[in-house]
Structure 1
Amino acid sequence: MQQRRLLIFVSALILSILMFFCTSALYPPPVASAHAFVIGSNPVDGATINAAPNVVRIYFNAPVSTLSTVHVYAIENGQLVDVSAAPASISPTDARELDTPLKSPGSLPQGSYEIKWMAVASNDGHTTYGVIGFDVGYSSMGLPGTTTLGPTTSNNLDGAGGIRTLNFLGVLSIIWDWLILGALTLWVGMLVIEKIIVARTERVSDLLRFTLRPGHSLHWLCLSALLCGEVVALVLRNSRLSQALDSGFNLSNLLRLVSDTTYGHIWLARIVLLLIGLGFLYWLKQTADSKDEDEAGNVPAPRPLQRSSSGRQSGTQEFHPTTGSLTRERVEMEEKAASRPLPPYTFLWLILTGLLLLTYALTGNASQVFRPHISAIIFDWLYLTAQGIWFGGLAYLGYMLLPRLPGDLDRQSAPLIELLQRILPVFLAAMCILLISGFFLAEASITSIDRLLNDPYGRTLLVQSAVTVLILLLSLYTLFVLRPRITRQVLLLPVVEPELPARRMRQSALEQSWRTLKGLVNTQAIMGAGVLLCAAFMTFYAPPIVFPNINYAASSSSPSASSTGSTQSKQVGDLHLTLNVLPGKLNRENSVVLLITDSNGNPITDAKVSLSTNMVIMNMGTAHKTIESGNPLYVATFDKRQAFSMAGQWSIDLTIQRPGHDSVQTRFLVMLQSA
């Protein structure tokens, strides 16, 4: 039996590792996109431009909601003058872009301008804000412009009143997220142990039927805490939004947060699932009370433990006294327990729990709600499930189940051994799943090692990982060292007559092991609560912002860096390339036209050209085209949904292959503006 369980554990571990690497190869982990942070803008933050633009565009790393606002101010005589022509709107082609038109751009004065933005992320409902500055012609502050260009200064993160400042609302948000995670984790662990492990563990199930009241009250407490916690979490998100807007509590914004964001839609689904769970629990309670009333006075007494003719427990004779292997009677009991049906409605509870966990995975750090990345959602769901089974199971085992076992070692030893035997494979599977999925999510959140020390999210992740490893070591010690020790002590206890001193010594050693077991389980449960607290902090901080790797200064100074429907030319080796994008407008079918000539000006007709297009400021998806040889002009046409679907700078990567020549690679940058 032990060898079979070890083989199952090793097989599950190997399959989990293979699944992790196969999924990572087929579906590379996405960059986590919790909260909405600025990763680029047009004009670029800190840039000096010749004339004011018609529209100010801000690009985010996550979809934003219609609650987001942008105000563009001109700095005149030290005063801020609003030059926005209309409220900001989400781009029809990309939910991660906010566009704000300006009043009479041609008549706007030269000088400094300031963009104050506030964004509400559609996927998690969190509020972010910041300031973007640019100059037209010259700086009214007497400065030529900020030397560091790009979006790094656009987000107000850690300064006074920053997004990551641990003010009163921030602390409340962390506490409530922690309580929600705690209630969810405890409920998952309680369901698995009660409905699957204990229900199929005959001795423990029969014993707890009379020593532990039905778990309706604890289930009710967990579901009620989740329901209240979700309502409070929504109110806190609305309070953060009101704080960013410098306004009081606004009920209309709360309703829009629910109706206009993906988070709000998933929040409504979560509330419905919790209400279904509470209603189902109430119905089961009423049914159980009616059954108890019908059977009043006919409740059977607890089944006594059978004893052998020598007065010892038969439960301790289920193992061979010298080899410790299972006897034939014990094997038959295990097979009988394995064939016992699960309690009624267990599958309904598991389906409800799985759907509830899915709602949390969809709003987690690693998910991309606008373009759901299936691997991230699956791994996040598996992580939450394994976390509930492992940490929630430890809490339920240490603070609810073990204290309910009788104090008499003669009565508790057999149920305890059976319980630990059943828990072993479930906990091992949860550990493997949590570690594998945790590695995937960490890779999606942290893109470089230095962020583990330089970013508050990374430091919290580091602490969480260290505590998880410590819990893992304690759990392995409990399952593979302490559990076999207790089993051996139980086997050796009835071998000696009760009147002999050796019996008392062995009983004392068993009592010490029993106290050690309870202490270790309680300690692991407390450390699990610490891991959940780290998760709440990580939700508040959000993963580090990943900015596009763009040299804005070089791009703005390059004479051929951008064009709007105009011709560009460059010399690459002995080839002269002339490229044009027609008509060079958004929401249109655009064609890339390429003319290749040699050093003498003769057209090249025998080349094979491969084109790849993508947006520079953010990943809009790479579109590929291949043009075979045979014509003086190489033309590739892209559908409006394939490429050039968003205003901004686009890259066109070319690979030119000719018979008998080395392949040539180069890049053109094309600027597309709204039609």
Structure 2
Amino acid sequence: MPLTTLRRLLLAALLAVVALLGTAGPAAAHAGLVTATPSDGAVLADEPRQVRMEFSEPVTLRLSSIRVIAPDGRRVDAGPPLAAGTTLTVPLAPGGPQGTYVIDWRVSAVDDGHTTAGAVVFSVGAPSRNAALGGAGEDRLTDAVQDLAVWLGLAGLASLVGCAAIRLCCLPVDAPPGAADLRWPLSAGWSALLAGTVLQLFAYGPATQGESLAHLADRSLLSATLASHQGQMLVARILLLALIAAVGAVVLRRGPVGTVSAALLTLLLALTWAQTSHAADGSLVPLALAVTTVHVAAMAVWAGGLLTLVALAARGVELPAIAGRFSRLALGAVALLAVTGGYQAVREVSGPAALTGTAYGRLLLAKACVLAVVLAAAALTRRRLAARASTPGRALLVELGGVTLILVLTVLLLATAPARPSGGTVGGPEATPAATVGR
């Protein structure tokens, strides 16, 4: 690569890092409900003219909604919410019946795009039955597609990055043609990452609003997504993939220039995940973003490297020399995963009780247990390869299967509110934030 081209690539990467880091919002928690008027459980003599809800941080108005459901099941909100700072208000149609009303709310935080949802209940005259007492509506299929898109993107990133790492750092100079030709897994990883990102871009809006998959092509929701921080990071990821497609052949050339360029592009891609993760809010946001970026990149190197080894083994390529080099690379990646994952756990979990008492804590424990099993399988694989065993395949497949499960648990963690103090959500059980969506 000519020196001028290298300088331009490094300058573009540096500018991209500054731009992505510069979009980090101020330290904050997810948008929790602070106060509601009428308040949860209130019994009023007369029907209110409006509902007023104050949240712990600014929300994206076009991806937030408030529905007020009367005792007879009719919606009595008379227009879209209006925003003033962190407060949303919605007018109510006059002439509603007496009884219990349910306010279903869903809001998306400006900083990281996470969605919180819940319900507040009040009564006019006297309490009554209301079929909407189940809380804010969600479409499980849309949420599942959203999670699938996130997983597909992470799997594609791992395949792309891990395969590149094997090619640049682990293949012997005299590697046979079957080992050196890694275009298929590289292309598959790039394609999976692009497909997952595009699917996430279209599914994010409907998921924030609890809408069905029929709204994937809703132009108003897509427009709102593109204007949000989440959408901007997804677009940035697509642009990075276009850059990789343009310069990929040069980056994958063996040597320091290719290795450094591939590392920079990997960190930039990982940063787009960090910007839409729990790292984008809370305390010490810049540090958390850097830690999460390294965590995602290390995961990609380890998981994708394993996938590449399995692909090479399926071709009948002798693995000991390649796997020996990858073992040293994987050891560094796992060490980074342990350190960065430990920091994330301390930051996102308020204390030991939250590990077993919250959904986020339990998922984190499950991820740690699976990681322990995977590391045990990895140790077995390395011993067999060191002994030049002819078929280390089973242990390698167990290791890869475990890493796949870790990616699934990672997606669930991204879609779950962290176990740290939020913005002081008010109300009873129905008013507690539900799952967060939109990674």
- TM-score, normalised to structure 1, is 0.51
Closer, same or farther: CA 523–249 of 1 in aligned 2, 3 Å = closer
Q: Does 1:194 align with 2:167?
A: yes
The residue aligned with 2:41 is 46
Query: How far, CA to CA, are the matches of 2:92 and 2:104 in structure 1?
Result: 16
* Cα 1:461/1:277, change in 2 over 3 Å: same
Question: 1:260-306: per-residue Cα shift (whole Å, max 9, x none)?
Answer: 21101111111111111122237889xx9xxxxxxxxxxxxxxxxxx
Structure 2 Cα separation of the partners of residues 536 and 442 of structure 1? 15
Q: Structure 1 residues 442 and 253, CA, compared in 2 at 3 Å: closer, same or farther?
A: farther
Q: 1:443 to 1:89 in 2, by over 3 A?
A: farther
1:389 partner letter: V
Pick one of 400, 413, 430 that aligns with 1:538.
413
Structure 2 letter corresponding to 1:469: A
Q: Residues 621-632 of structure 1 correspond to what in structure 2 (within 5 A)?
A: none
* Pairing partner for 1:234 from 201, 209, 214: 201
Q: Which residue of 2 aligns with 1:87?
A: 80
- Aligned equivalent of 1:433: 336
The yes-or-no answer on 1:114 pairing with 2:102 is: yes
Deviations 1:406-464 (A, max 9, x none): 5xxxxx8xxx35x4553343222211110121122223333354554454444333222
The Cα offsets for residues 342-389 of structure 1, whole Å up to 9 and x where unpaired, read as: 1653322222221111001111133229x9711221221111111112
Give, as a single letter, the amino acid of the residue that structure 2 aligns with 1:59.
F
Is the partner of 2:278 in helix, strand or coil? coil
1:383 aligns with 2:295: yes
Q: Which amino acid aligns with 2:150?
A: D
Please say if 1:184 is aligned against 2:157.
yes
Question: Structure 2 regions of 5+ residues with no counterpart?
Answer: 1-26, 429-439
Q: In the TM superposition, what are the counterparts of 1:97-108 in structure 2 within 5 Å?
A: 97-100=86-89, 102=91
Paired residue type of 1:350: A
Distance 1:140 1:353 in 2: 57
Contact 1:37 1:128 in 2 (8 A): yes
Counterpart for residue 224 of structure 2: 257
Residue 471 of structure 1: which of 371, 374, 395 is its match?
A: 374
**CA 1:551 to 1:393, structure 2 compared with 1: closer, same or farther past 3 Å?**
closer
Give the match for residue 326 of structure 2. Answer: 423
TM-score scaled by length of structure 2 = 0.75
SS at 2:62's partner residue? coil
**Matched residues in 2 for 1:529 and 1:49: separation?**
53
Query: More deviation in 245-254 or 219-228?
Result: 245-254
Is 1:445 the counterpart of 2:348 in the alignment? yes
Match of 1:351 in 2: 264
1:170 paired to 2:143: yes
String of CA shifts for 1:543-583, please: whole Å, max 9, x gaps.
35845669989xxxxxxxxxxxxxxxxxxxxxxxxxxxxxx
Following the alignment from structure 1 to structure 2, what is the Cα–Cα distance between the partners of residues 551 and 238? 26
- SS, match of residue 212 in structure 1: helix
Q: Is this contact kept in 2: 1:39–1:61, CA < 8 A?
A: no
Structure 1 residues 546, 534: closer, same or farther in 2, change over 3 A? same
- Given that 1:89 and 1:99 are in contact with CA atoms closer than 8 Å, whether structure 2 keeps it comes out as yes
Letter in 1 for 2:173: S
Pair 244,372 (structure 1): closer, same or farther in 2 beyond 3 Å: farther
Task: Describe the SS at the equivalent of 2:280.
Answer: coil
- The answer to whether the 8 A contact 1:114-1:133 is kept is yes
Match of 1:462 among 341, 365, 381: 365
Which SS does the other structure have where 1:206 is aligned?
A: coil
Question: Among 57, 65, 69, which residue is 1:69 paired with?
Answer: 65
Distance 2:129 2:256 in 1: 77
Corresponding residue SS for 1:207: coil
Residue from 246, 271, 274 that aligns with 2:238 = 271
Question: What is the identity, as a one-letter code, of the residue corresponding to 1:64?
Answer: T
- Cα deviation for residue 183 of structure 1 reads 1.3
SS at match of 2:36: strand
Contact 1:258 1:268 in 2 (8 A): no
Cα deviation digits, residues 114-135 of structure 1 (max 9, x gap): 3232323445556554432224
Q: Give, in angstroms, the shift of residue 478 of structure 1.
A: 4.7
CA distance in 1, matches of 2:350, 2:141: 30
What do you get for the CA RMSD once the two structures are aligned? Answer: 4.1
CA 262–31 in structure 1, closer or farther in 2 if over 3 Å, else same: closer
Structure 2 counterpart of 1:69, one-letter code: S
Picking from 173, 177, 182, the partner of 1:205 is 173
Alpha-carbon distance, 1:186 to partner: 2.0
Q: 1:523 aligns with which of 379, 394, 398?
A: 398
One-letter code aligned to 2:239: V
Cα separation, partners in 2 of 1:353 and 1:81, compared to 1, 3 Å = closer
2:182 maps to what in 1?
A: 215
> Which of these residues, 51, 55, 58, is aligned with residue 54 of structure 2?
58
Residues 212, 474 of structure 1: alpha-carbon distance in 2 compared, 3 angstrom cutoff: closer
Structure-2 separation of matches of 1:104 and 1:162: 25
Distance 1:392 1:155, change over 3 A: farther
Measured in 1, the distance between the counterparts of 2:374 and 2:263 equals 26
**1:367 and 2:340 matched:** no
Cα distance, 1:403 vs structure 2 = 4.8
Aligned partners of 1:366 and 1:380 also within 8 Å: yes
Q: Is the 8 A contact 1:32 1:543 kept in 2?
A: no
CA contact (8 A) 2:110 2:229 kept: yes
- Quick check: 1:156–1:162 contact (8 Å CA) kept in 2? no
Q: Which amino acid aligns with 2:63?
A: L
Flag the structure with more relative contact order, 1 or 2, with Cα contacts below 8 A and sequence separation at least 6: 2
> 1:88 touches 1:98 (CA, 8 Å); kept in 2?
no
Q: CA 1:545–1:444 in structure 2 vs 1: closer, same or farther (change >3 Å)? A: closer
Of 44-53 and 219-228, deviating more is: 44-53
Question: What does residue range 633-648 of structure 1 map to in structure 2 within 5 Å?
Answer: none
SS at match of 1:515: coil
* 1:172 partner SS: helix
Deviation at 1:100, TM superposition (A): 0.7
Contact 1:263 / 1:363 at 8 angstroms: preserved in 2? Answer: yes
The match for 1:134 is 122
Per-residue deviation at 1:154? Answer: 9.6
CA distance in structure 2 between the partners assigned to 1:475 and 1:56 by the alignment:
55
1:196 partner letter: C
Taking only the aligned residue pairs, the percentage that are identical comes to: 22
* Structure having the larger proportion of residues in strand: 1
The equivalent residue for 2:317 is: 405
Q: CA deviation at 1:482?
A: 4.9
Aligned residues between the structures: 401
Sort the Cα spacing of 1:142 and 1:436 in 2 relative to 1 into closer, same or farther, 3 A.
Answer: closer
The verdict on how the C-alpha distance between 1:346 and 1:154 changes in structure 2, with shifts beyond 3 A counting, is farther
Partner SS for 1:90: strand
Which structure has the larger Rg over C-alpha atoms? Answer: 1
Give secondary structure in 1 for the equivalent of 2:63: coil
* Runs of at least 5 residues in structure 1 that lack an aligned partner in the other structure: 1-29, 144-152, 199-203, 289-340, 407-411, 487-509, 554-675
SS at match of 2:331: helix
Are 1:280 and 2:247 matched, yes or no?
Answer: yes
- Aligned residues of 1:88 and 1:99 also touching (Cα < 8 A): yes
